[in-house]
């Protein structure tokens, strides 16, 4: 299978270690990973903030870059949600029937990492080792847009050495929401406060999730409080082995 890594602009710039981990996991499972250098951004921030005409060229670029691949994998439920759920709306807005057709063709081949591993390739044990106490926050877009269900938890349950602790009110939004965290900073902070309380209750060392955007928000709050709990992307836990 020709697998393309869609790194997402956010991870590319701010969380390169997540990208390296994603490549590591996929290659360990025998996939040949390619990284199309022409990729930039899926356009989610623009689209969701209302700058939708500005997002259309980014939609076109994404489709052109990733069309040739059998599968496109990204370590972000949110960006994959953009492609799968909102690209059709973008194509309608562009009044471009050809783009709409190509989006419909490509979108089902774009996967969030845990979804690709569990649902597409049927792997639940990636041979990872991670000797820490960890809690998992299901991000809204992976849960409710992509409906990845328990896929991330199935993967985490098979990580050796790890103690997985259930997060209370896990399905409640952490309050990130992209530009929401800036435009409605106070409300976002109120939501974050409750999420952090739940994370603290787990007495974990690490809080993980499938999206670095939510983790940056939760982690930024934890760090400000000197809570002593790190945030680590799911891919990095799955990439971790006894050797390293």
Interface residues toward another protein, by CB under 8 A: 7, 9, 11-16, 19-20, 35, 37-41, 43, 45-55, 57-58, 61, 85-86, 89, 93, 140-141, 143-145, 171-173, 175-193, 216-217, 219-221, 223-224
Buried b (16+ CB within 10 A) or exposed e, 72-84: bbbbbbbbbbbbb
What is the number of other CB atoms lying within 10 angstroms of the CB of residue 1?
A: 10
| Minimum gap (Å) between residue 162 Cβ and another protein | 24
CA distance 211 to 147: 14
Nearer to another protein, 52 or 121 (CB): 52
| Minimum gap (Å) between residue 122 Cβ and another protein | 26
The alpha-helical segments, DSSP class H, found in 121-224 are 140, 151-157, 180-183, 185-201, 212-224
What is the number of other CB atoms lying within 10 angstroms of the CB of residue 190?
A: 11
| Minimum gap (Å) between residue 78 Cβ and another protein | 9
CA distance 68 to 25: 22
Nearer to another protein, 123 or 227 (CB): 227
| Minimum gap (Å) between residue 145 Cβ and another protein | 6
CA distance 87 to 112: 16
| Minimum gap (Å) between residue 144 Cβ and another protein | 4
Tokens standing for residue 159: 């990580």
């Amino acid at each position: 299978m020709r697998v393309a890594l869609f790194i997402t602009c956010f991870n590319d710039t701010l969380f390169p270690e997540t990208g390296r981990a994603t490549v590591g996991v996929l290659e360990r499972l025998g996939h040949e990973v390619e990284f199309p250098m022409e990729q930039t951004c899926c356009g989610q921030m623009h689209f969701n903030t209302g700058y939708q005409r500005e997002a259309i060229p980014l939609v076109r670029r994404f489709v052109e870059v990733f069309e040739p691949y059998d599968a496109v994998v990204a370590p972000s439920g949110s960006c994959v949600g953009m492609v799968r759920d909102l690209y059709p709306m973008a194509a309608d807005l562009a009044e471009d029937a050809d783009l709409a057709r190509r989006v419909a063709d490509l979108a089902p081949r774009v996967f969030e990492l845990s979804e690709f591993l569990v649902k597409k390739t049927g792997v639940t044990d990636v041979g990872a080792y991670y000797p820490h106490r960890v809690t998992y926050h299901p991000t809204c877009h992976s849960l409710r847009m992509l409906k990845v269900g328990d896929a991330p938890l199935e993967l985490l349950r098979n990580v050796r050495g790890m103690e997985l602790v259930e997060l209370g009110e896990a399905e409640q939004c952490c309050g990130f929401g992209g530009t929401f965290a800036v435009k409605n900073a106070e409300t976002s902070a109120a939501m974050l406060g409750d999420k952090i309380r739940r994370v603290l209750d787990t007495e974990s060392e690490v809080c993980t999730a499938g999206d670095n955007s939510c983790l940056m928000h939760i982690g930024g709050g934890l760090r400000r409080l000197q809570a002593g709990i790190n945030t680590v992307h799911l891919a990095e836990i799955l990439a971790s082995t006894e050797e390293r």
